Amino acid sequence: MSRPVVAASAIEDGKVPFSWKQFLLKYNILIILLLICVVLSIYTNRFLTQENIINITRQVSINGILAIGMTVVILTGGIDLSVGSLVALSGVVTALLLRDQQMAILAVFPISLFVGLIMGSLNGYFVAYCRAAPFVVTLAMMTAARGLTYVISKGRPISPLPADFLFLGKGNLWIVPIPVIIFLLTFLLGYMLLRYFRIGRYLYAVGGNENAAIVSGINAKKVKLFAYAFSGALCGLAAVILTARVSAGLPQAGQSYELDAIAATVIGGTSLAGGRGRLWGTLVGALLLGVVNNGLDLMEITSFYQQIVKGVIILGAVLMDYKRNS
């Protein structure tokens, strides 16, 4: 008898009573990540070393950047399958300009981002203005952009690249790898965008209920176009890091990167139906994937098993999310 009374008075006070169950449900992925870290620290002696931790963050950063763009797209209720191909395309274009046109090192950022932005905008145009299904549009882009990459590169790796450029993928600032710095800045940008800018509210609104968003005066088409363009631009950013890290523009780079980005987003609790999700979740999701891969490496489990584990984690995360929302 007393429980409804508590709830009613809490509503009057404008406070929600604290409950452990709610807390555990809300932070479930973070808690699982921490638990895995504890277990790995105990069972391996190399996990909790500075070198390994930095290694994990470096490995996570590319997928992390892509997952930020993916989260923005999925928030609008869409999906972007072209991510991996756009990384390859931007990377190859940038590498060609570096090798053959002696482009200034810092110009790689605007160039690569621009390539991604244009291709992403194309995705967005077809999704928003032609009302085509995001899955199909970006699937077509995935195939076409990969083909274009092979055409431009003639199917061969683009190398050698200037040593100064390679620093962007391999170098450190003090002990922090440059890719990690770029990742964190991107995260900050994405977080600010979603939380403190009008466009952020609009992204959630369009994904949550497009009709209601339109009636509220939002140009839903523009918002969707923005989401895909943003994701495309982040592909360009990730391409710079990847190209520098492997010292070449590889036409076959980035295969199945889109799936890792989707995995990180979904593990982070973003709803594929759109309108729900937080960028923090995506960050934790990307870290979780990175830590698990690293842990399995350290425990000398072959990559075949790693894929099974990854599948189980994705499924588990989605089931937990389902439970939380029902």
Among 276, 280, 306, 318, binds another protein (CB under 8 A): 276
The 3-state DSSP class for residue 48 equals coil
Residue 63 near residue 57 (C-beta atoms within 8 A): no
Q: Name 177's bridge partners.
A: 172
226 binds another protein (CB under 8 A): no
Of 88-96, 116-124, 150-158, 206-214, the window that binds another protein (rule: CB under 8 A) is: 206-214
16 binds another protein (CB under 8 A): yes
* Nearer CB in complex with another protein: 158/213: 213
**Helix-helix angle 163-170:178-196, to 10 degrees:** 60
Least Å distance, CB 206 to another protein, is: 9
Least Å distance, CB 184 to another protein, is: 21
Least Å distance, CB 274 to another protein, is: 8
278 binds another protein (CB under 8 A): no
The 3-state DSSP class for residue 216 equals coil
198 binds another protein (CB under 8 A): yes
What's the CA gap between 318 and 271, in Å, rounded? 9
Of 12-20, 45-53, 165-173, 305-313, the window that binds another protein (rule: CB under 8 A) is: 12-20
* Nearer CB in complex with another protein: 88/213: 213
The count of residues in the chain is 326
Residue 159 near residue 246 (C-beta atoms within 8 A): no
201 binds another protein (CB under 8 A): yes
* Nearer CB in complex with another protein: 82/271: 271
15 binds another protein (CB under 8 A): yes
The contact mask relative to another protein for 246-275 (x = CB under 8 A, - = no) is: -------------------------x---x
* Nearer CB in complex with another protein: 254/281: 281
Residue 189 burial (CB count, 10 A): 13
The 3-state DSSP class for residue 130 equals coil
Among 157, 171, 208, 316, binds another protein (CB under 8 A): 208
Of 11-19, 138-146, 262-270, 299-307, the window that binds another protein (rule: CB under 8 A) is: 11-19
Nearest 5°: phi and psi at 123?
-50, -50
Q: Which helix (H) or strand (E) holds 177?
A: strand 176-177
Q: Is the dihedral of CA 182, 187, 188, 192 positive or negative?
A: positive
Among 56, 62, 178, 218, binds another protein (CB under 8 A): 218
34 binds another protein (CB under 8 A): no
215 binds another protein (CB under 8 A): yes
Least Å distance, CB 253 to another protein, is: 34
What's the CA gap between 259 and 265, in Å, rounded? 10
Residue 182 near residue 241 (C-beta atoms within 8 A): yes
Tokens representing residue 156 in the block? 């061969």
**In Å, how far are 22, 81, 226 from 255, measured between CA atoms?**
38, 11, 24
Q: Where along the sequence are the contacts to another protein (CB under 8 A)?
A: 10-11, 14-16, 196-202, 204-205, 208-209, 211-219, 271, 275-276
